[in-house]
């Protein structure tokens, strides 16, 4: 008998192993393999393309950029290299609720890096100055819809230039492809389980339109765009004087 078809019409109420208690060693191995997937499948491209669109080279004072739910910190390290290549002064901060993830991000970061790492609830995050840009990568699918609406409102209130959400697209083809690839690549068991589950917990464009509207954002305030493979991103660029 064939397996029962999965329902991708709505977000699945499932749990990821990396959200459960585990050792720092297990967490480190999981995050390292997730960073490999980010590299292999161009996971940094959406955020870097959006940052390019902001024309930040004209800024004279360092911009404050916060990565919410920074995890392993690989996205922030990639942004640091991007900013250095373009001689854009930036103060980069990674924030994650899990202190083990922050400790692992610190370990993985070269000593020459200027990135600051903080373990805190993002809604209680206290920055030393106003925030210019807030980003997140593979963070929002870990939240409930109500928490996402709260996060959208928080970013809208705190990010002076704009914010960017880089997350997954909920669809059967990437689900089955990632399920097979993660096994063939011999990735960490957490990744083999959590990768496909993440896609089932992820989004379609209508989800984002609904949640952005609930956060008080208008249709023309945000750009919802898909990227191959399996990314669905939300960009908010505010007008600057």
Domain boundaries, the chain: 17-167+204-237
pLDDT at residue 2 tops 70: no
Q: What is the mean pLDDT of residues 110-121?
A: 97
All residues at 6 or more sequence positions from 134 whose CB lies less than 8 Å from its CB, including other chains? 65, 66, 68, 155, 158, 159, 163, 164
Give pLDDT, residue 240: 60
241: pLDDT strictly greater than 90: no
Q: Which of 139, 158, 175 is nearest to 67 (CA)?
A: 139
Query: Which of the listed ranges 52-61, 117-126, 229-238 does the model predict with the highest average pLDDT?
Result: 229-238
What does the alpha-carbon distance between residue 12 and residue 114 come to, in Å, rounded to a whole number? 38
Selecting from 3.40.1160.10, 3.40.50.150, 3.20.20.10, 2.40.50.140, what CATH number does the domain 17-167+204-237 have?
3.40.50.150
Q: What is the pTM assigned to this prediction?
A: 0.95
Which residues on adjacent β-strands are paired with residue 63? Answer: 90
Residue 1's pLDDT is: 31
Query: Distance between CA 46 and CA 29 in Å, rounded?
Result: 25
pLDDT for 59 equals 80
Burial of residue 226 (CB within 10 Å: 0-12, 13-18, 19+) is: middle
Residues 231 and 155: their CA atoms lie apart, in Å, by: 20
Interval 171-224: pLDDT, tens: 999 999 999 999 999 999 999 999 999 999 999 999 999 999 999 999 999 999
d(Cα 93, Cα 206) in Å, to the nearest integer? 31
């Amino acid at each position: 008998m064939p397996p029962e078809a999965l329902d991708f019409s709505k977000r699945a109420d499932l749990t990821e192993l990396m959200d459960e208690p585990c050792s720092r060693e297990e967490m480190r191995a999981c995050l390292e393999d997730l960073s490999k997937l980010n590299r292999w499948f161009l996971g940094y491209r959406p955020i870097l393309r959006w940052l390019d669109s902001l024309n930040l080279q004209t800024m004279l004072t360092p911009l404050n950029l916060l990565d919410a739910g920074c995890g392993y910190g690989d996205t922030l390290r990639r942004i640091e290299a991007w900013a250095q290549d373009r001689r854009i002064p930036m103060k980069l901060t990674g924030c994650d609720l899990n202190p083990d993830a922050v400790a692992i991000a610190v370990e993985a970061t070269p000593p020459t890096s200027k990135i600051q790492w903080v373990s805190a609830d993002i809604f209680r995050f206290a920055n030393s100055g106003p925030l210019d840009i807030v980003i997140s990568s593979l963070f929002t699918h870990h939240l409930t819809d109500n928490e996402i609406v709260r996060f959208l409102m928080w970013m809208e209130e705190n990010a002076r230039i704009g914010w960017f959400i880089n997350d997954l697209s909920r669809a059967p083809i990437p689900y089955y492809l990632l399920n097979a690839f993660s096994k063939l690549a011999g990735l960490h068991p957490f990744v083999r389980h959590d990768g496909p589950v993440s896609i089932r917990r992820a989004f379609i464009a209508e989800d984002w339109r609904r949640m952005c509207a609930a956060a008080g954002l208008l249709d023309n305030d945000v750009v919802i765009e898909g990227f191959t493979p399996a990314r669905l991103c939300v960009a908010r660029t505010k007008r600057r004087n």
